[in-house]
Every structure is written in structure tokens, then in C-alpha cells.
Structure 1
């Protein structure tokens, strides 16, 4: 007859998953900090692992390529946009206000991580390829379809195409913002909302 396992013999599944999430977050944070301090290309897996206090192989297990840290960064922002859409007050807002809210949120994410701007400029081709490859966040097209149902936008416009136009405009503005170094330049949010105003004129019936 086998002995009954004691509580310390094996960690519960929930605890293991929590440890995995914590390890992944430590690696992600360590990588972004190093990218900001010394650049994307100059940062090695050994440095990331050391800063996160894990083995080098552990870093590879969670992020097999350095570009995967950038991909996680992109997906983190998309998830924050999805969370914004889930807020009841936001769901009840007019479609144009929703689109402005998305762009303001994206601008806010970048402002929060302003210390990464130099790194973003260097890794922009990598992050742009990922964002272009995955296409615009689905919330953009969802808001445009809402606007069409509510009569805010004309129905002759393809919501997916309009979402791409807005998202492409965001990426171009982001690229310029990441490379600018003059404090007098317009904020990213101001630029994005000005561009959205022009785009919305083409959507309004």
C-alpha cells in the first residue's frame, strides 16, 4: 500500500502555473529593462537570465527567440485594448469615441514606457513586421461595425479596410514619435487624434 503524499511532496497545479507566470513576467521585465539600457542587439540571453535570476535555458524555454520578447510586448498592448472594450461604459460610448479611446490608450502605453523609446526606434522593424503581419486589433473593426449599425458611419465602407487605415496611421505616427527627440513636438496622442479626425470624415455618411 502506497503512502499518502504529504502536502509538500508536490506543488498544487495552481501554484505551479502561478510560478510559471511569475518567471515569464520576470524574464519579460528584465529583457525590456536591458533593451532600454543597452539596446536590443547588444542584449544577450545570458544577461536577461541573470537579471531575471533564472537559468539561461529557462529563458530560452519561455522566449526561444529575442524577437519573442517584442511579440509579447505587442500582445500585452492588444490585451489591454481588449480589456478596455470589456468596460461597460466604454461599450455604450459612440463608435467614434471608442476609436479615439483606443488610440489614446495606445498613446498612453507608449508614454508609460517612454524610457523604451530609443529601443523601440531600433526594434521598430521587428515590431512593425509583427504588428503588420497580425493586422489591426479586432476591436477597431468591431467599433466601426457598431458605428455602421448605429448610423454613425456609412455602410459602404468595409470595416476591416477602415480598421487597417486607422492602424496603419497609428504605426506611421508611432515610427515618427519613436525617433523624435524634440520636446516641442506634438504628443503622440495629439497626432493620432488629429489623424483620426481626418479618417472619420471619410466614414461619416
Structure 2
């Protein structure tokens, strides 16, 4: 009779069994293998069969973890957001004023892109072409949450639609990064361009009344 595997370990305060750790390890292996192939050969040219072969697993195993190839793209974005959230959490960025907090968030996202430009170029472009990059609300929800917390502290003008603000910032981020990756060498300083875009969003386009002479 087979004895159930009850060996456990603590992870993030939760108990994780050996079987689950193995599943996660395989999941990470498939993810890393797929991303490597995408960068080397392109997203469209890489098949699930090639991912299975490179990872040395059965084709069905890949589909058990990723029902579709675009699942790798969705996880790529989710992992980046989680990584930035972890960095900012360790820095207690939630205590910063809302403008500094938004700036730090976009700076960390830009750093990830700059540090892995080849990967970003392939996967961001593929996410826009084949995935749900511009329909997935995950980033705009995260940014909207930051704006909403700023609103609750009186740092954001009353009446601002936090959801719309998050959507605007997310679309600005994506369009800026897509322009940045589609030319070689990089056509502009990504950090500076994102900072400039955020400043425009935060301050608006119109000059103050004292500057225009309007009553």
C-alpha cells in the first residue's frame, strides 16, 4: 500500500506539501523554458510541442499547467507586477505620498524592462498582438488602488474617478514601453519618459489661471 506523502514545509506562513512543491517547481521550469524559447525564436514560432521537448516533459504536461500558449504571457505580466509589489512592500512605499508612490511603481517597472530588454521586447509585443495586454485590467486596478488611497488621504482632487485614473496610467505605461521596445537601439530613456508622462497626468495640461490671465 502506498503511503500518502505528508511531508510539509512552511512557505509564507502556509504549509506546503512535497507534492505541491514539486508541482510548483515543474511549473516554474516550464515557464522558464518557454520564456527562453520565446526570446530565442519568437513567440509565434514557438510551439507547445517545442516547449515540452525542451523541458523534457510530455506535451500533455505542458497543457496541464498552461491550457494555451498565451497563458505564459499572462503569467509573465503577473510575475512582474508581483515582483514590483514585493520590492515596494519591502521599502514600505505605502507610506509615501501618492505622487512619489506612483513614481516609484513606474520606476521599478521600468527597471525590470531595462534589465531584460530582449525579453520585454518579445513578450510585451506578443502580449499586445496575441494576448490581452490592453484588455487585462490587472495593472490599472493596481494603479487605481494607489490613487484611491491617495484620495482617501486628501492628496488627490475630490471627484477624481480612481478607476479612470488607473486606466489612463496603465495605457500610458503600455504605449510607452511598446514604443521603447520596437526600435533598436532604444529610442528614448524609458525612466525619463515614464516620469514625464506621470507628471503630465498629475499636473494636467492647462496652465494655472494666474499664468493665462483668465478669471
What's the offset of the Cα at 1:25?
A: 0.4
CA contact (8 A) 2:140 2:167 kept: no
Alignment of 1:75 onto 2:78: yes
Matched with 1:47 is 50
CA-to-partner distance for each residue in 1:154-188, whole Å, 9 max, x for gaps?
012111111111111001101101202124x3222
CA-to-partner distance for each residue in 1:3-46, whole Å, 9 max, x for gaps?
7x6xxx44336110000001000000000000000111111222
Higher RCO (Cα < 8 Å, 6 or more apart)? 1
Segments ≥4 residues shifted beyond 3 Å: 84-88
Unmatched 5+ residue regions in structure 2? 8-16, 209-215
Alignment of 1:98 onto 2:101: yes
Matched with 2:114 is 111
Larger proportion of helix: 1
CA distance in 1, matches of 2:193, 2:18: 45
Q: How many residues align?
A: 196
TM-score (norm 2): 0.82
Matched with 1:188 is 190
CA distance in 2, matches of 1:93, 1:83: 15
Question: RMSD of aligned C-alpha atoms?
Answer: 2.3
Secondary structure, counterpart of 1:11 in structure 2: coil
TM-score (norm 1): 0.85
User: Structure 1 residues 75, 135: closer, same or farther in 2, change over 3 A?
Assistant: closer
